[in-house]
Amino acid sequence: MFNLLVRAGGWAESHDTMLASRALSYTDQHVADKYQTNDKLDFPALFSLPTLFVEEGYGDETARIGTITRARSSGRHIYLDYYYDSSVPSISNKNIKTLASELDIDDFEFSTTHWAVKERDIFKVLLINAHQRPSRPRVFQISNPENIESNLGTYILDGTKACRHIARDRPALRQKHLRSTILTTFSVRSVSCWSAGRIG
């Protein structure tokens, strides 16, 4: 699960507003029912989800992953406090669009302000696609990154499964190590996620 927050003009650095009527738009009904009761949003439950902050558009607009820390409804608006996760690189909308089907984001959602909740594992999607994108290592000097064993992807995915098993009841821990794996995959393609197996 993750929050998808889309806004015309982008999102401010740490707090912003949106129309309350746009909350849980483009969200499957059984998911919406889980996060609201009698039209009242369950903010604490929503805060527990990672959030993708997106500016409306289909090109070089920048999207960020972060966490909502506070929200309050007042009149027609919802006032949000949040922070961006500095350990996860920003993503352009055109790159998100290539992953839209995997993230359950419809094309028109890139052009309308709204708050949706998607029943997808955003870190897993980014992890898999990060591994598929060739990149030259920043730490180790390897002459040709493409000569790295092709089955490394299997180890990465197996590492992800290990994290899921070990941290099944600790989603924050799972997300932390998946984020670490995403970054490591971009740079040296190792499987830091396995370190979760050594945490008691």
**What pLDDT digit, counting tens, does each position of 61-93 carry?**
999 999 999 999 999 999 999 999 999 999 999
**Claim to verify: residue 10 and residue 101 sit in the same structural domain:** yes
Q: How many domains does the chain have?
A: 2
State which of 118, 139, 162 marks the end of a domain: 118
State which of 118, 139, 163 marks the end of a domain: 118
**Claim to verify: residue 76 and residue 142 sit in the same structural domain:** no
What six digits make up the tokens of 25?
Answer: 């738009």
pTM score? 0.69
Q: What is the C-alpha end-to-end distance of the chain, expressed in Å?
A: 25
What six digits make up the tokens of 158?
Answer: 């197996």
Q: Mapping DSSP to helix (H, G, I), strand (E, B) and coil, where does residue 134 land?
A: coil
Mean pLDDT of 100-115: 96
State which of 89, 118, 147 marks the end of a domain: 118
**Claim to verify: residue 190 and residue 110 sit in the same structural domain:** no
**Claim to verify: residue 105 and residue 160 sit in the same structural domain:** no
CA distance 167 to 15: 31
Strands 51-55 and 2-7: parallel
Q: Are 3 and 64 in contact (CB under 8 A)?
A: no
Of 152, 154, 189, 159, the residue nearest 177 (C-alpha)? 159
**Claim to verify: residue 58 and residue 88 sit in the same structural domain:** yes
- State residue 129's pLDDT score: 85
**Claim to verify: residue 174 and residue 190 sit in the same structural domain:** yes
User: Domain of 161?
Assistant: 122-198
- State residue 178's pLDDT score: 56
Give me the phi and psi of 61, to 5 degrees please.
Answer: -55, 145
